[in-house]
């Protein structure tokens, strides 16, 4: 029975979704991928906005996926802000209790909170005119 159990599962060489984990390697920088995804989304939104400004009557089926993706990204940014605020609260509480707070973490968190908040606001402002058109078309 023990031999069967040992043979189940991915094995030692595949201990993570992308293969073996190496504690000596730095983690992948996922922010670069997110930035590219955001750029592609912003380009799609801008293309629709430009087409509307030129008087093009775009079908709802063309606009709705982009508006949906845009608001989904805005909600992701809002969730990130909530997580950052919770971390700031935890660090503040640690500091009040006299515990050590990692150097520079509070500053980095405040900076990222401002960035994410600004990105969400900018994205929502870009989406507002498109949302109105999609809503009118749905009525």
Smallest CA-to-CA distance from 115 within 64, 75, 80 is with 80
pLDDT digit string, tens, across residues 5-29: 444 444 545 444 445 545 455 444 4
Q: How far is CA 23 from CA 50, 67, 94, in A?
A: 48, 40, 28
Q: What is the model's pTM?
A: 0.70
Backbone phi and psi for residue 35, each to the nearest 5 degrees, phi listed first:
-60, -40
pLDDT digit string, tens, across residues 83-124: 999 999 999 999 999 999 888 999 999 999 999 999 999 999
Rounded to an integer, what distance in angstroms lies between the CA atom of residue 139 and that of residue 137?
6
Higher pLDDT, 7 or 50: 50
In whole angstroms, how large is the CA radius of gyration of the chain? 22
């Amino acid at each position: 029975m023990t031999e069967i159990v040992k043979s189940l599962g991915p094995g030692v060489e595949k201990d993570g979704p992308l293969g073996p984990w190496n504690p000596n390697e730095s983690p992948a920088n996922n922010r670069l991928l997110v930035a590219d995804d955001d750029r592609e989304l912003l380009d799609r939104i801008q293309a629709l906005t430009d087409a509307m400004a030129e008087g093009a009557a775009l079908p709802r089926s063309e606009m709705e996926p982009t508006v949906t993706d845009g608001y989904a990204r805005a909600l992701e940014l809002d969730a990130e802000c909530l997580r950052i605020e919770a971390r700031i609260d935890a660090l503040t509480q640690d500091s009040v209790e006299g515990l050590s707070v990692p150097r520079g973490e509070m500053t980095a968190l405040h900076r990222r909170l401002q960035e994410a908040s600004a990105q969400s606001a900018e994205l929502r402002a870009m989406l507002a005119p498109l949302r109105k058109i999609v809503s009118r078309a749905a009525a």
